[in-house]
Structure 1
Amino acid sequence: MRNAVIVVGAGPTGLLLASELALRGVRVTVLERLEEPDQTIKSGSINVASAEILDRRGLLPAAEEVQRGRLAASGAFTTGRMNRTVRALEDAANEKSRRFAVIGHFAGLMFRHDLVDQDDPVLAAHTAVANGIFVPQHDLELLLGAHCARLGVEIRRGVEVRGLRGTGTDLDDDADVVVETSAGDFTAGWVVAADGGRSVIRRTLGVDFVGTDPELVGYQAIADFDDPSELRRGWNWTPRGIYTYGPVPGRILVARFTPQPEDRDAPVTVEELQSAVREVSGIPVTITGLHGRATRWSDNARQARAYRRGRVFLAGDAAHVHSPFSAQGLNLGLGDAVNLGWKLAATIQGTAPAGLLDTYHSERHPIGAWVLDWTRAQVALMRGDERTAQLRKVIGDDLFTVPGATNHMIALSSGILQRYDVAEDGEEPVGSITGDAELSTGGRLADHAHDGRFVLLDRSAEGRYAEAVRGLEHLVAYVADADASEPSLFVRPDGIIAWADNVSDDNARKLLDTAIERWAGV
């Protein structure tokens, strides 16, 4: 049977994208090589922007449940700054007044919640998801998998994708695409490759994957040690690399500046992991076993020159790879998925304005390039030489202890400062992520975004903007909330503000009509 869309890869990016398409009635099949969800330890949390994606789709309660369980498992194990981070998250969960979730680090320099100005309006606009941040990648995949199941997404596991071909002259034709797999051929109108950094689809397309070569080799695992008492919890730098122990029992991450192994695909043995931990930490620990598989990774930083070729798109690690510090890759992929999903669905259903699909590359490619630079800077700051150590001390002790600097770095890391050029004459907040947008009548704007439509939040006293979306109920959710202290907003399905009435009344309606036509196609 022909599919409207085939998504290759059932990681977080692929699952979120599939759910975004299914939410709008698009038939989608996900093809995944692994028989079961990957239990390998990877990213330990998501950022605020990603948690807000879940919030807009009604998935925040599930994320909060995961965080409660993870905090219970981690709290007794952590010490020092990591312990303060865990305690801060627990305190935020127990308070009636929400606070911005402070979690994460830059090059191993932990963000200090006690230095954050919670009255900063930038942070204060993004506090609703504070209790749904501590969500590891495996738990996120289970959460999104359940979401896909409720929406009727077909996930075919144990299917290895080997290539693809066009049904026309070539893949650039406006024709169906055939995905060649171990289970036979699958035909679809569109294909999205979310099949990881070594994407078969990207290689088949011949898309250039450009960037910088790796400097380090890293490992991550849940391990049993005969005596881990000398391993310092939290982030630790040495002349030979960096390691962190915790926050969950047995979790070890270690990176050393050394050439890449000859066989990067070889399984990580206990001996290899133990050697790396001993070399970097200088502690003669003995690893007695592993829980699941250990992973090996590097800071290879590359990005596809183009995120689209004809009817095939690249998303997540298939479009960009870099070091995994701070889970930036996971969050970047979720941003790709929520940006592309509604645009592709609108194109398939015939409601998309001309050129809408081209904005996927133009909006997401610059964000990906910025994240690659962000991660390169962290690796540079992790080097073990004396001068880098001095620089790290200046940044950690002098710069990161300044509340204003701390706020800005946390906002950058959390993803809430990402912005698109969505209107030629758009002024703030146009182009930015909407955040909490609480309503004077109760509830929040996110409560009206669960079905994936655009949202028009009309805060005018007389509901002057209602006429602009009359008859468009299938595309736009209209929310009346008279509150003259805040601007009215037209918000895209991905949470980006496409219009705000912070201009004169005479021109505001005209600009709203322009935004609706540009993004909703009507």
Structure 2
Amino acid sequence: MRRIDVIVVGAGPTGLFVASELALRGVRVCVLERLEEPDPTIKSGSINVASAEILDRRGLLPAAEEVQRRRMAATGSFTAGRSNRLVRELEGAAMRTSRRFPVIGHFAGIMFRHDLVDQDDPVLAAHTAVANGIVVPQHELELLLGEHCARLGVEIRRGVEVRGLRSTGASLDDDADVVVETGAGDFSAGWVVAADGGRSVIRRRLGVDFAGTDPEMVGYQAIADFDDPSELRRGWTWTPRGIYTYGPVPGRVLVARFAPQPEDKDAPVTVEELQDAVRDVTGVPVTITGLHGRATRWSDNARQARNYRRGRVFLAGDAAHVHSPFSAQGLNLGLGDAVNLGWKLAATVNGRAPAGLLDTYEAERHPIGAWVLDWTRAQVALLRGDERTAQLRKVIGGELFAVPGATDRMLALSSGILQRYDVAEDADGPVGSIAGDVELTSGTRLADHAHDGRFVLVDRSPDGRYAEAIRGAEDRVASVADPAPLPSLFVRPDGVIAWACDDDADDARKLLDAAIQRWVG
């Protein structure tokens, strides 16, 4: 039985990205995946700004931008001659040269309107560089991350079904190796990351409580052929039975209705089941003549693991939290887990982690997961088909969103750029927030110096005084001299600002030393 540093269970976006983060820092990692090939089933159609910035920091933004170009070309051919606000917003969203924040997405089907967004809002203006890498569907993202893993030498073993795990010690709580049991034999590892989905075998084997709220709706998503789709409205449409959207990708339909859950949630979605749901919610007697790939069924089941870690096993992505897929929050939440855990686990495997570093994974990510669950629950509540809820949507969409700054705030929240962590005592200003776009006097950006997964120190002092603080840790921290009348920054591998200080601050070096000690060791 071969021993591996880390086994990642699940080759979805979360599993692939955490594996790449580990490999980037020289950790031997193996990904075990049940499916023989990447799943082409239609799922989320885009990523948010925070996720695109994760890709940017690892040099993957050009690949994401190429995906968006292809998607927009396909969307344009589908909507030629038709009015479609989403397409117009995508086409006019931010080109990098125009420095505009991408205004796409919605809250409970209420689209974020471009004309209600203040592009001069300092929060939004700090996150514009990735605007052309947002429209990346989950399947395309998995292919992109799979190629990234291959370049890094990550071993991905497909067609391997994980059945359980055990510790080489007395229990899984012991500080001992973990054996992952599969149909292809046993695999031994120092650590395990479970990214095996909402019905995680690993989470169940650990016995971690998965508390939350039961579902109220059943949703479907597919790319289908219709006999006559002319009466299906494009964009989000509310009805007394639920909500649906048709397009902008040719044949794409998403429909959600308030109804009991099917008896067999694992049964494949048939054409008849999908057609019944579409007819029921839309009120249009369409006939579905065929499907492209498989249709997916989902619900607003909202649950979160009580703990993200047990011994040497971690939960990430849907294994740690599930909820309705509105706004693709699950995909983005999982990528956030991966980029937060990856560098911390790598430092631990390499014997370079400061005390307590791994404990910060759950401490930082669990509150974010809880917030996202509430964000999606609020949207489901606003989707109900009764007349009072319809009036509430009119007030929120027509009145509250029109208040100056309101759409800016909702867009920023949906985009993930307002997430903050408690990274230092008495932290204020940008400390604890995501760095976003940081342009340097050299013509490069902070993200350009983060491709290898190291911390980045942007030293803006006139005499380069802060570089001395990282002497001996250059293998883990990249120092960039950038003399400019702006605060110097110390940024973690996940893009979170751990220290920021003006040069005239008396305790600047002391605070920087404390940040380095806490996060680098």
TM-score normalised by the chain length of structure 1: 0.98
Q: Does 1:36 align with 2:37?
A: yes
Q: Distance in 2 between matches of 1:471 and 1:122?
A: 35
Task: Give 3-state SS (helix, strand or coil) of 1:506's partner.
Answer: coil
Q: Is the 8 A contact 1:45 1:327 kept in 2?
A: yes
* AA aligned opposite 1:255: A
What does residue 509 of structure 1 align with? 509
* AA aligned opposite 2:489: L
What does residue 455 of structure 2 align with? 454
1:338-372 Cα offsets, whole Å, 9 max, x none, are 00000000001111000000000000000000000
Q: Does 1:410 align with 2:421?
A: no
1:99-157 Cα offsets, whole Å, 9 max, x none, are 11111100011111122111111000000000000000000000000000000000000
Percent identical among aligned pairs is: 84
1:449-480 Cα offsets, whole Å, 9 max, x none, are 00000000001111111111122110100000
Task: Give 3-state SS (helix, strand or coil) of 2:157's partner.
Answer: strand
Q: How does 1:210-221 map to 2 (within 5 A)?
A: 210-221=211-222
Moved more, 347-356 or 494-503: 494-503
* AA aligned opposite 2:184: A
Q: Is the 8 A contact 2:94 2:101 kept in 1?
A: no
* AA aligned opposite 1:481: D
What does residue 14 of structure 1 align with? 15
Q: How does 1:264-279 map to 2 (within 5 A)?
A: 264-279=265-280
What does residue 467 of structure 1 align with? 468
What does residue 105 of structure 1 align with? 106
1:11-35 Cα offsets, whole Å, 9 max, x none, are 0000000000000000000000000
1:378-398 Cα offsets, whole Å, 9 max, x none, are 000000000000001111111
Moved more, 145-154 or 72-81: 72-81
* AA aligned opposite 2:383: M
Task: Give 3-state SS (helix, strand or coil) of 1:72's partner.
Answer: helix
1:255-285 Cα offsets, whole Å, 9 max, x none, are 1101101100011000000000001111100
What does residue 204 of structure 1 align with? 205
CA shift for structure 1 position 441: 2.1
What does residue 494 of structure 1 align with? 494
Q: How does 1:222-237 map to 2 (within 5 A)?
A: 222-237=223-238
1:188-207 Cα offsets, whole Å, 9 max, x none, are 00000000000000000000
Q: Does 1:87 align with 2:112?
A: no
Task: Give 3-state SS (helix, strand or coil) of 1:283's partner.
Answer: coil
Task: Give 3-state SS (helix, strand or coil) of 1:505's partner.
Answer: coil
Aligned CA distance change for structure 1 residues 85 and 450 (closer, same or farther; 3 Å):
same
* AA aligned opposite 1:509: R
Aligned CA distance change for structure 1 residues 108 and 45 (closer, same or farther; 3 Å):
same
Q: Distance in 1 between matches of 2:503 and 2:444?
A: 26
Q: Is the 8 A contact 1:81 1:110 kept in 2?
A: no
Q: How does 1:32-431 map to 2 (within 5 A)?
A: 32-78=33-79, 83-92=84-93, 96-431=97-432
CA shift for structure 1 position 502: 4.2
CA shift for structure 1 position 427: 1.0
Q: Is the 8 A contact 1:85 1:112 kept in 2?
A: no
Q: Is the 8 A contact 1:7 1:191 kept in 2?
A: yes
* AA aligned opposite 2:380: V
Task: Give 3-state SS (helix, strand or coil) of 2:436's partner.
Answer: coil
CA shift for structure 1 position 402: 2.9
Q: Is the 8 A contact 1:423 1:498 kept in 2?
A: yes
* AA aligned opposite 2:23: A
Structure 1: unaligned runs, 5 residues or longer: none
Q: Is the 8 A contact 1:199 1:318 kept in 2?
A: yes
Aligned CA distance change for structure 1 residues 333 and 79 (closer, same or farther; 3 Å):
farther
CA shift for structure 1 position 95: 6.4
Aligned length: 520
CA shift for structure 1 position 77: 2.9
Q: Is the 8 A contact 2:94 2:100 kept in 1?
A: no
Moved more, 76-85 or 324-333: 76-85
Q: Distance in 1 between matches of 2:109 and 2:324?
A: 13
Aligned CA distance change for structure 1 residues 81 and 496 (closer, same or farther; 3 Å):
farther
Q: Distance in 1 between matches of 2:245 and 2:89?
A: 20
CA shift for structure 1 position 94: 5.2
Q: Distance in 2 between matches of 1:483 and 1:153?
A: 40
Task: Give 3-state SS (helix, strand or coil) of 2:166's partner.
Answer: strand
